[in-house]
Structure formats: structure tokens, C-alpha cells
């Protein structure tokens, strides 16, 4: 084969390779690969917010819809619970984040593998909106009067609440 033939074949291969690269870049921008929906080898990567970040920087997350994975460490009411934060090398809990659902949870059912049941202390995936609330707003969201004898029975220390972040729950699933 002559030198002109080899140059011609090399040029054609270069053009084909260039077109393939341009098309793959164009396709990845059309599929919407952003920070909340990245893929690696076809598998989605979730971008989660850490409980510690919400507790430590509540102003940053105030009013934002977030996804959080954590462990339920205490139930406060039938629609309110606390999730653990991770601190230290052994995963000891720090300051908890209060999570408030719109409706009350039911007792766990044996046939529900993904639905959270009242009283379960398990790892969960939650989606909701972070809000910074004062004591009066917290009582309203929870539907409770912190001064009532019934609420004081559990000694949850909410009488000392002044201002802090909570997660208003939209959805929750067991992990």
C-alpha cells in the first residue's frame, strides 16, 4: 500500500474517532448528569446531606429539600423522632436532628418490608425540607404543648428549646 493510502486511512480513522467523542459528550449532557444524579457505569450515585452538616450549618440548609440517611435513635411522639449524628471514631451520637412527619406512624406490620413502623429504631432514607424553628413553631409542627402533663411524662426536655433545625418529612424508607 502506498504512503498516500496509509495517510488517507489514518485520516478517516481520526475523523471517525473525533465524531464518536463529540457524540458521547453530547449524549452525557442530554441525560442530565448533575450533582444529584450522577452515574458511574450506569449505576446512579445519590448525593446525600449528612445530619452533622444540617446540625452544624442550619442556615445553609434552611428551606432546602434534602435527602438524608441516618439511624432513628429515639421516638418523641407518634409522628416525631430523632435521628443520630455521627461523631468520633466509634460513631457515638452527637446532637440529634428532630424529624417531623405530617401524619402519625402506625405500629409495624410484618408484611411491610419498606414502610417505617412506629417505634422502630432502624436506618432510614428520608426526604424532606429543613427549617429553623423556635419553640412555638416546633410545638405547632409537632402538634404538642410542651407544658402539658402528658408531654412532660416522657421528659424530652423540649421546654429548653430556643431555636434550631428540624426536618419536615416528605417521605421515608427503610434501608
Q: Are residues 110 and 85 in the same domain?
A: yes
- From residue 117, how far is each of 31, 96, 123 by CA, in Å? 36, 20, 12
- 50-106 pLDDT, tens digit each: 999 999 999 999 999 999 999 999 999 999 999 987 655 555 556 789 999 999 999
User: Where do we find the cell 429504631?
Assistant: 121
Q: Which of 131, 123, 143 is nearest to 169 (CA)?
A: 131
The verdict on residue 137 lying in a domain is yes
Domain assignment of residue 123, given as a range: 51-174
The verdict on residue 73 lying in a domain is yes
Query: Using CA atoms, how far apart are residues 29 and 17, in angstroms rounded to an integer?
Result: 19
Query: Using CA atoms, how far apart are residues 72 and 140, in angstroms rounded to an integer?
Result: 22
The answer to whether the predicted template modeling score (pTM) of the entire model surpasses 0.85 is no
Amino acid at each position: 500500500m502506498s504512503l498516500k493510502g496509509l495517510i488517507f486511512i489514518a485520516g478517516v480513522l481520526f475523523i471517525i474517532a473525533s465524531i464518536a467523542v463529540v457524540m458521547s459528550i453530547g449524549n452525557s449532557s442530554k441525560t442530565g448528569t448533575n450533582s444529584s444524579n450522577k452515574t458511574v457505569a450506569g449505576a446512579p450515585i445519590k448525593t446525600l446531606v449528612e445530619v452533622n452538616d444540617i446540625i452544624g450549618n442550619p442556615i445553609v440548609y434552611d428551606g432546602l429539600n434534602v435527602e438524608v440517611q441516618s439511624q432513628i435513635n429515639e421516638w418523641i411522639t407518634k409522628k416525631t423522632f430523632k435521628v443520630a449524628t455521627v461523631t468520633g471514631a466509634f460513631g457515638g451520637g452527637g446532637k440529634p436532628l428532630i424529624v417531623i412527619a405530617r401524619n402519625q406512624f402506625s405500629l409495624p406490620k410484618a408484611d411491610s418490608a419498606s414502610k417505617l413502623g412506629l417505634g422502630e429504631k432502624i436506618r432510614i432514607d428520608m426526604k424532606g425540607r429543613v427549617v429553623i424553628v423556635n419553640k412555638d413553631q416546633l410545638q405547632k409542627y409537632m402538634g404538642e404543648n410542651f407544658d402539658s402533663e402528658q408531654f412532660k411524662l416522657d421528659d424530652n426536655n423540649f421546654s429548653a428549646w430556643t431555636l434550631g433545625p428540624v426536618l419536615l418529612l416528605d417521605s421515608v424508607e427503610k434501608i
